[in-house]
Homo-oligomer: A and B are copies of this chain.
């Protein structure tokens, strides 16, 4: 579990200054994306459970305290205050799987100012990348139109932690499986994967390779057919599938070349061989646009493996998430820097009936037909037992319900248009009063 030094140095200097001055008044911070990346019509919230777990675990151990005492020149009283510091606050969050738009808080923290400030870096880190991945994965789901998708990203994802986040975030929006064994075990996900080109090269022939694999793993063998000549590879797979009677469980995988044309060739050979149930899996540099082109082009591909483009969120790697002070001891606060203005006060996001959202103050009544997105998930620094179901299955149901709500223009892959976010009169009035 992350310790208190998993943070930016300035959180510690600010923490120290607050503690020394007894500035422990309640502060509310709001975490949101200022804007959506150009190629996104919505974002899918992910990472909330990991963020809450990190808040619960937050503390300074002896080594941390020794480091801080030295680096920050702490007095005894402040050192003691750090040693006793835990996150004891309240958190409201948008449940994982739900969609948010520009300016809508994903999460709001209310706690004593030193605590709520300290957790800024940790919360931004825990939420931003999973949300970026889930949002891109959702586009892959759109493109695949019901065909199963597998997370193949582990090897080129930025780190092992990040690979775990990718496996979880992709499952959250409906990916069928992951190649990441550790993540599969941890999150109870189906695994996928069979053989590399090196495996084929380690045997004397494709025939021998496929026979060995079928012998060891007869339940769901997938034969990689493009190590040498793809057509020859498909024929070798067909021979083994027929010989071993695997026509109902086997698949072949294409990982290079013109995937659409090769899939058509392979499908014809398989059908001619009386193997209509053998599936074709494609991988190799895929993203939502390539999947979309293959599916729209009628390529007979049954499932896709998606790797590096997804695991690095290659088309939109940065989401400009921020964590802003919006209320200090009842005083609403807004930032007025050039181009970086924010709205004051604790918020609510209301998913209204008419295909748009309302950004409101938290204590405003929710209009009829509207649904509030932010709900309490933590009080007194502990996760609430009655918070929305944190399971991946529940998150996926929420994702699917919100997707049904989205206008078609927000769901399309190219030039999506996000639904409108309207500001309530009460929020507009408060903002005006703070800025004037």
Contacts and interface: CB of A to CB of B under 8 A. Distances in A.
A124 B156 CA distance: 6
B317 A10 contact: no
A384 to B, nearest CB: 25
A405 interface: no
A277 to B, nearest CB: 22
Contacts of A191: 9, 71
Contacts of A201: 325, 328, 333, 335
A196 interface: yes
A164 B167 CA distance: 21
A261 B338 CA distance: 13
Nearest to A198: B325
B338 A257 contact: yes
Contact of A6 (B20, B160, B217, B257): B160
Contacts of A124: 155-156
Interface in A147-184: 152, 154-165, 179-182, 184
Contacts of A129: 156-159, 162
A18 B200 CA distance: 12
A3 B179 contact: no
A178 to B, nearest CB: 8
Interface string A1-24: 011011111111110111011010
Contact of A318 (B2, B67, B309): B309
B158 A158 contact: yes
A197 B340 CA distance: 11
A431 interface: no
B160 A335 contact: no
A365 interface: no
Interface stretch (A113-121, A238-246, A385-393, A410-418): A113-121
Contact of A67 (B157, B163, B185, B199): B185
A154 B8 contact: yes
A13 B318 contact: no
A256 B337 contact: yes
Contacts of A7: 154, 181-182
A5 B198 contact: no
A321 B13 contact: no
Contacts of A339: 256-257
A125 B325 contact: no
Contact of A125 (B11, B12, B120, B163): B163
A217 B128 CA distance: 31
Nearest to A78: B216
Among A72, A128, A319, the one with the most B-chain Cβ atoms within 10 Å of its Cβ is: A128
Interface string A322-355: 0011001000010111111000000000000000
A10 B158 contact: no
A158 B46 CA distance: 13
Interface string A50-87: 00000000000000000100011100000000000000
Interface of A: 2-3, 5-14, 16-18, 20-21, 23, 27, 29, 67, 71-73, 113, 117, 120-121, 124-125, 128-129, 152, 154-165, 179-182, 184-185, 191-199, 201-202, 212-213, 216-217, 219, 226-228, 230, 255-257, 308-309, 312-314, 317-321, 324-325, 328, 333, 335-340
11 contacts: A2-B160, A6-B181, A8-B154, A8-B180, A9-B192, A13-B213, A73-B217, A129-B162, A162-B162, A256-B339, A256-B340
Query: Which 6 pairs show the lowest CB-CB distances between chains A and B?
Result: A10-B193, A159-B161, A198-B325, A9-B193, A312-B317, A124-B155
